[in-house]
Amino acid sequence: MVNVKSKSELEIMREAGIIAGNALHFGGQSIKPGMTTYELDKIIHDYIVKHGATPSFLGYGGFPGSACISINNKVIHGIPSKKERIREGDIVSIDVGAYYKGFHGDTAYTFAVGNVSEEARQLLKVTNESLFKGIEQAVIGNRVGDISHAVEEHCTSFGYGVVKQFVGHGVGMKLHESPEVPNFGRAGHGFKLCEGMVIAIEPMINAKGEGVKTLSDGWTVLTESGSLSAHFEHTVAITSNGPELLTMPTII
């Protein structure tokens, strides 16, 4: 069942989204070579709490961190660790959720740490572009497949692998709601988009091959090929004025 949001609910979701977006942006600004992913997670946790929200991921299904921090060939769900250090040349995906007044905001971005390889830079560029190509299709009357196809078509045109085991989703009072929003599919198919729907569009794209595997910790997802992976995400409301990005940061 898809939960359509009222105007008052969307207003709260804007607030939740801004907190999540700002926490992600602040976390990205805080990345320094040599710091641990645990230290980065604490920075994001403290920002969310300071602004009156709760980290959506902390304790979710037993997840031990406030943000998912995934480096290089980690696709998603990287667990913050005191032993894992960020290095010059890494790409670092940070996935953040903020729960505020009963609603969630969910967003992700993959940051380049210092001078990264051309391969990495291109992967980040194309994956981020694919997110916005998907967002362009998030309009009343379109279908989920229009979003999915736009993401897939852009990324596969560069030879990249689109992760199929994990997908975007509805967002609201629950972190994950209906409908699922895959990053692959046929235009004109899937759930029809209507005003008041809120969805998380989140391309997860591998430099080589679509295959992924989950570590024994039950969370960390890696590329099967060992190649780099990028992840970008926005929470998007379907409105009469077109798609509205609820998780755009407001801090500079």
Q: Which long-range contacts link 156-161 to residues 24+ away (Cβ below 8 Å)? A: 158/122, 158/126, 160/123, 160/126, 160/127, 160/205, 160/206, 160/207, 160/208, 161/205, 161/206, 161/207, 161/208, 161/209, 161/210, 161/211, 161/223, 161/225
Q: How far apart are alpha carbons 44 and 210 in whole angstroms?
A: 30
Written as tens digits, the pLDDT of the chain (252 aa) is 899 999 999 999 999 999 999 999 999 999 999 999 999 999 999 999 999 999 999 999 999 999 999 999 999 999 999 999 999 999 999 999 999 999 999 999 999 999 999 999 999 999 999 999 999 999 999 999 999 999 999 999 999 999 999 999 999 999 999 999 999 999 999 999 999 999 999 999 999 999 999 999 999 999 999 999 999 999 999 999 999 999 999 987
What pLDDT does 219 receive?
A: 98
In a domain, 183, yes or no: yes
Q: How far apart are alpha carbons 214 and 197 in whole angstroms?
A: 31
Tell me which residue of 53, 128, 62, 139 sits closest to 96, measured CA to CA: 53
For 142, the token pair is 């379109």
In a domain, 136, yes or no: yes
Peptide bond into 203 cis (omega under 30): no
The dihedral through the CA atoms of 131, 88, 22, 181 has a sign that is positive
pTM over 0.95: yes
Q: How far apart are alpha carbons 248 and 111 in whole angstroms?
A: 16
In a domain, 247, yes or no: no
Number of domains composing the chain: 1
In a domain, 211, yes or no: yes
In a domain, 1, yes or no: no
CATH number, domain at 83?
Answer: 3.90.230.10
In a domain, 73, yes or no: yes
In a domain, 249, yes or no: no
3-state helix, strand, coil in the chain (%, to 5): 30, 30, 45
In a domain, 209, yes or no: yes
What pLDDT does 189 receive?
A: 98
Range of the domain at 219: 7-242
What pLDDT does 251 receive?
A: 86
Chain mean position to CA 70:
11
Contact 40, 94 (CB under 8 A): yes
Contact 54, 99 (CB under 8 A): yes
